[in-house]
Amino acid sequence: MSLELTGLHKEVISGLTAGTVTTVVTHPLDLIKVRLQLLAMTKPSEGYREVLKYIAQDSRNSSGFLREAYRGLGVNLIGNSIAWGLYFGLYRYSKDIVFRLWADESLYSTNSFQNDKQMGALLYMTSAGISGLTTTILTNPIWVVKTRIMSTSVGARGSYRSTWDGIKKLYKSDGVKGFWKGMIPSLFGVTQGALYFAVYDSLKHQYFAAKHIDAEQKLGNLETITITSLSKMISVTAVYPFQLLKANLQSFEASVDHNSYRLWSVIHSIYSKEGVKGLYKGLSANLLRAIPSTCITFCIYENLRHSL
């Protein structure tokens, strides 16, 4: 008996696979990014050199460089695999719903790719926003545990030993509400995904139109990398401060010093120390991680989606 995959199944499988491979490859860069973001509140004068020095020092004190560089890989894999799978699946579903609501019935096709050709940037952004908001709310607890694991070394006192250990300790110290720390900037940060998909899909379909290529055809790897890089650079830079604020609100320090780690207090503290540039601490590390990782993700996604 053959199993026929629907468009939604293809999106979810492609997203899960792409997210998993990407996370493994780029995890050390993600760890550096998280630690740089947290320095914006605790040690704003320190930067890349100090972070790398701490990681090297922790490696010598614990059980090796790889274990330290890949600290938190388990929860990161769980979070990114679930998030990418949800995001791609919900994005496909959202595009179909948004197009149905917007388009005249005569324009609607049972072929989703044909519908995509008729959508503009606003409809792409709306669809991505819906899927992003839903994914963010459902996965926020994972990111709180991830931030706390990745912010400490393996041998640090009070650090989470594993994902399950982190869940138990977080519940014990912060209660249920602790799992949704940083939700406000996370929700605002959804605009990054919405902006990314709006730019990505718009550029992709403009490219198809310019080359007179059918929308069901697969992008070449070079085209995917080019469009992905441009889209990610624009979207990440536009909303990066939300990521930095989210990381600080989800940190261990936020559980100890509640007054200093309220949203407006964090913004004021960072701005008073370094101005606007303080809100972009770690941006280059994030771009260095995000652009290659997204290129890997979308190359796998585009190839796998068309081969299923």
Q: Positive or negative, the Cα torsion across 158, 162, 164, 167?
A: positive
- pLDDT band at 104, cuts 50/70/90? low
The length of the chain is: 308
Which of 32-36, 65-69, 83-87, 254-258 reaches the highest mean pLDDT?
A: 32-36
CA 173, 179, 181 angle in degrees (round to 5)? 95
Measure CA 187 to chain center: 12
Is the separation of the CB atoms in 281 and 266 below 8 Å? no
Please check the confidence at residue 247 and state whether its pLDDT lies above 90: yes
- pLDDT band at 199, cuts 50/70/90? confident
The pTM assigned to this predicted structure is 0.77
For residues 245 and 1, what is the distance between their CA atoms, to the nearest angstrom?
Answer: 51
Which of 23-27, 106-110, 196-200, 243-247 reaches the highest mean pLDDT?
A: 243-247
For residues 211 and 187, what is the distance between their CA atoms, to the nearest angstrom?
Answer: 37
What's the whole-number mean pLDDT along residues 201-227? Answer: 77
Q: Report the top-level CATH class of 7-307.
A: mainly alpha
- pLDDT band at 214, cuts 50/70/90? low
The first and second tokens of residue 20, run together, are: 């998993």
What's the whole-number mean pLDDT along residues 271-289? Answer: 90
For residues 204 and 215, what is the distance between their CA atoms, to the nearest angstrom?
Answer: 9
Three-state DSSP class for residue 89: helix
Please check the confidence at residue 105 and state whether its pLDDT lies above 70: no
- pLDDT band at 159, cuts 50/70/90? confident
Tally the C-alpha atoms within 13 A of residue 76's C-alpha that lie toward its C-beta.
Answer: 22
Q: Helix crossing, 7-42 with 48-61: angle to 10°?
A: 100
For residues 230 and 260, what is the distance between their CA atoms, to the nearest angstrom?
Answer: 36
* Among candidate residues 221, 236, 238, the one with its CA nearest the CA of residue 295: 221
For residues 103 and 126, what is the distance between their CA atoms, to the nearest angstrom?
Answer: 14
Residue 244's φ and ψ, nearest 5 degrees, are -65, -45
For residues 232 and 297, what is the distance between their CA atoms, to the nearest angstrom?
Answer: 12
pLDDT of residue 297: 72
Give the residue, 88 or 18, on which the prediction is more confident.
88
The residues, ordered by sequence, that sit 6+ positions from 220 with a Cβ below 8 Å of its Cβ are none
pLDDT of residue 98: 82
Domain ranges of the chain: 7-307
Return mean pLDDT, the chain: 83
Q: Which tens digits make up the pLDDT trace of 57-102?
A: 877 776 678 888 899 999 998 888 888 778 878 888 888 888 878 7
- pLDDT band at 7, cuts 50/70/90? low
What's the whole-number mean pLDDT along residues 163-182? Answer: 93
Question: What Rg, from alpha-carbon coordinates, does the chain have?
Answer: 20
Is the separation of the CB atoms in 7 and 270 below 8 Å? no
